[in-house]
Structure 1
């Protein structure tokens, strides 16, 4: 094979490798500028579920909770509904908690400070199963609750932002690299 054909083939392989083996992840700051706080009134009681419904989460993304003199717990659906956790999956009270969304499905978060969850400091995050399913918005986590419906005008300004993503990172998967290496070796006849 001529050197120009090898070069074009190598470029094609590099572009294909990049398209199929890149994994991106995003870090979101819970609640935007306000952070993980007790909602100021019942009007804002569902502000975290509203914030979560405005963002799209996928496996590998992280969420950052920033707070003062509080805590965050990852709990079961039942504990979320009761605002009480006897065996949380995670407990953190370090004022800056980062949680990795490591699987598709629902994640339930509550404040561990007595009374805060009951005042609305709780949240459900839905993590999408596949990249293509992020095109259609998930149902609002609070759509079946008995709380009054939230309109954009009744929420704090910071929840109106479409995305509160802090950063996006791109990583190459190890399996993608192996496929890439085999393709390069075969194209250049190194075996």
Structure 2
């Protein structure tokens, strides 16, 4: 009877620690700007709104990441006025390395434009609205990255109840029982 109590105690402690660590893990969602095409000059009808349509199809929250992939271009974060004029001499953020990662650190609007002359005017610009986190709901725990085809190639992180986590939990529990 005493060994059964020890096993139950160990199992309960393990389960508590496992859930505590997963619930308190803070992660974010990473989005590929523009989906599969990346950060390029849009083509076709309504090219000037391509990136804004993509952005409005996603729900951005603080600490999410936008990943810009491009060749011979750049990404700038600018004011609303500079966004409208498609130029900035003093952007808040500038990168031209072809593989830019930008963290959305706060709720509100972010204005992105290409820094290459003429690209913004041809539609390579985007407004991202980062939503306020809900006041009374905890963040979804997330830990693994997959591509979501429905959201034009944005990258999403599923909740902790993934099949891998469940298998790991069961295996760990069994090891604890027989140890």
TM-score between both structures, scaled by the size of structure 1: 0.64
1:90 to 90, 93, 98: 93
- C-alpha displacement of 1:4: 5.0
Aligned-partner Cα distance in 2 for 1:48–1:24 = 25
TM-score between both structures, scaled by the size of structure 2: 0.68
Tell whether 2:29 aligns with 1:40. no
1:52 to 27, 52, 55: 55
- C-alpha displacement of 1:127: 1.5
RMSD over equivalenced CA pairs, Å: 2.8
Residue 151 (structure 2) aligns with = 162
User: 3-state DSSP class of the match of 1:6?
Assistant: helix
- Cα 1:167/1:56, change in 2 over 3 Å: closer
1:155-187 deviation digits (Å, cap 9, x = unpaired): xxxxx84252346499xxxxxxxxxxxxxxxxx
1:3 to 6, 20, 26: 6
Residue 99 (structure 1) aligns with = 102
- Cα 1:87/1:167, change in 2 over 3 Å: same
2:33 and 2:154 in contact (8 A); partners too: no
Residue 122 (structure 1) aligns with = 125
1:55 and 1:163 in contact (8 A); partners too: no
2:78 and 2:91 in contact (8 A); partners too: yes
Aligned-partner Cα distance in 1 for 2:58–2:99 = 20
Tell which has more relative contact order, 1 or 2 (C-alpha 8 A, sep 6+). 1
Q: Number of residue pairs matched? A: 145
Residue 72 (structure 2) aligns with = 69
2:78 and 2:92 in contact (8 A); partners too: yes
